[in-house]
Amino acid sequence: MTSVQTIDWLAIAPPLLVAVVAVLVLVVDAFTVGTRWRAAGAVSLAGLLVAGVLAVPLVGERRETFCLPAEAGSACSFVVDELTLAFWFVVLLGTAATVLLSAVGSIDERVPTGEHHFLLLCSAAGALSIAAARDLATLVIALELVSLPAFALVGLKRGDRRSAEAALKFFLVSVVATAVMLYGISLVYGTTGTMHLQGIQEALAEGVEASAVLAVGVVLTLFGLLFKVAAVPLHGWVPDTYVGAPPAVAAYLSVVSKAAGLVGLLVILSQGVGEYGEVWGPILAVVAALTMTVGNVLAIRQRHAVRLLAWSSVAQSGFMLAPMAIVADPRAEVSSAAVDAVFVYLLIYAVVNLGAFAVVAAMARHRPAGAIADYQGLVRRSPWAGVGLAFALLCLAGLPPGVIGLFAKLVVFQAVVDGGLGWLAVVMAVNVAIGLAYYVRWIAVVLGPVGDDAEAPVVHPAVGTAIGATLAAAVALSAAPSVVLGLLG
């Protein structure tokens, strides 16, 4: 007797709709002349907005689909819960900001319009799917759906050798990371007999044999996701890729692609291999410490705006990885606080980093060299852009009036200390001080006197709107941290 599996169409609607809109953008581009960027951007933004609306009915519910029969354990491959919805919000926000930046001149005529938006939405659909994936096969496929379009986005600019080189480096590191991850998954499957995270968790709780092999498999499985987060030692692709890519694509990689890797790690660690926390916990703690230190130390030397933001992004990844070392803590309140800390930090980082990239995108149209010296006296030449960038940098540094950044760091510090990793908290404190060196230096340039050869950058009204929205969102979050924590709790 055969049975037909029912599908919860509402649960899969947001990523499915984004994928459908990706194809629709190609059709619109084929029949549009003269206003392609405007038409493609409008369709993309509308699709992302509708996807967000479709996710609203799922708030407060747990929806499962693509599940095994009851006699096989009832494990599900696609689950929408609070964690899923939280990261969906970040993905949709980051993708919408990227579409806006793409449509206002940060992408030049050498980039084909339809293909750019198609690849962007395909990658976003993969990021949405990762947040709901609850088996390793679905997670790997979703991870590749994020990565493969991203390679093309970076190298899509015709005739640009730097763009092609950046895409190649990005691709090669990804191939190695994915190969290692697949090998790790094969070891996990071979020892537990299942690909579903629920089944893996149950097998570990019951005590499976060949624990050494399984431990190696778990560590190698996490390896591929650390690549998406740009953690040491898988961080080398970041600076060249960000510089070679258009500013809008670099912003996407720094927020959405990073969010995909973070939620993949959280899902596996908290819902699959928590029983092996004593194996991967110390490893993640060391990786977090190395990542924030390497990123900050190398950022100090940078004189190029995008390259500095790239190394800053690596350092910020270290702060987001720190609470993950304790997400499997047997104390429920500590584990829950660690998950909340990761999301709070990611949300705040996404908002302020998108604001910084919005200004960089505006400046790239005026000063393509991208040197930090080009921002001399920006606050006097273009107040919106100057204030927006200065405030974003203050938030990233955690300095007043960027209280939102300080709040994010305090949340992470509290989670790490409560988890018993005092040494990691000390490393984090040292790295906060190191980060001040290059953030404050750039802020001083922005607020300094206007240079003799300086001229006001041309800031598109939509970019100004994006910067203003970023400031408003940052101020709102700074003023109401208790509301954010209340929503998470």
- 32-46, 137-151, 182-196, range with the lowest pLDDT: 32-46
- 205-219, 238-252, 268-282, range with the lowest pLDDT: 205-219
Helix, strand, or coil (residue 196): strand
Domain ranges of the chain: 274-489
Identify the CA nearest to 395 among candidates 429, 432, 358.
432
Helix, strand, or coil (residue 58): helix
How far, in Å, CA of 392 to CA of 130, rounded? 28
Q: What is the pLDDT of residues 124-178, one digit of tens each?
A: 999 999 999 999 999 999 999 999 999 988 888 777 788 888 888 888 888 888 8
- Is 206 a residue whose pLDDT tops 80? no
- Is 485 a residue whose pLDDT tops 50? no
**Residue 471 banded pLDDT, cuts 50, 70, 90:** very low
**Mean pLDDT, residues 199-216:** 77
Q: What share of the chain in percent tops pLDDT 90?
A: 27
Q: What is the pLDDT of residues 408-429, one digit of tens each?
A: 888 899 999 988 888 999 999 9
Answer with the residue of higher pLDDT: 126 or 214.
126
Identify the CA nearest to 129 among candidates 220, 28, 260, 244.
260
Query: Secondary structure of 362-394 in the HEC alphabet?
Result: HHHCCCCCCEHHHHCCHHHHCHHHHHHHHHHHH
Burial of 18: CB neighbours in 10 Å, binned 0-12, 13-18, 19+: buried
Q: What is the pLDDT of residues 446-464, one digit of tens each?
A: 888 876 555 545 445 555 5
Name the pTM for this structure: 0.88
Give residue for tokens 């994915």.
Answer: 178
How far, in Å, CA of 303 to CA of 19, rounded? 39
- Residue 347: which residues within 8 A CB-CB, separation 6 or more? 89, 90, 477, 484
**Mean pLDDT, residues 299-325:** 91
How far, in Å, CA of 434 to CA of 52, rounded? 38
pLDDT at 103: 67
- Is 232 a residue whose pLDDT tops 70? yes
Residue-averaged pLDDT of the chain: 82
DSSP letter at 274 equals G
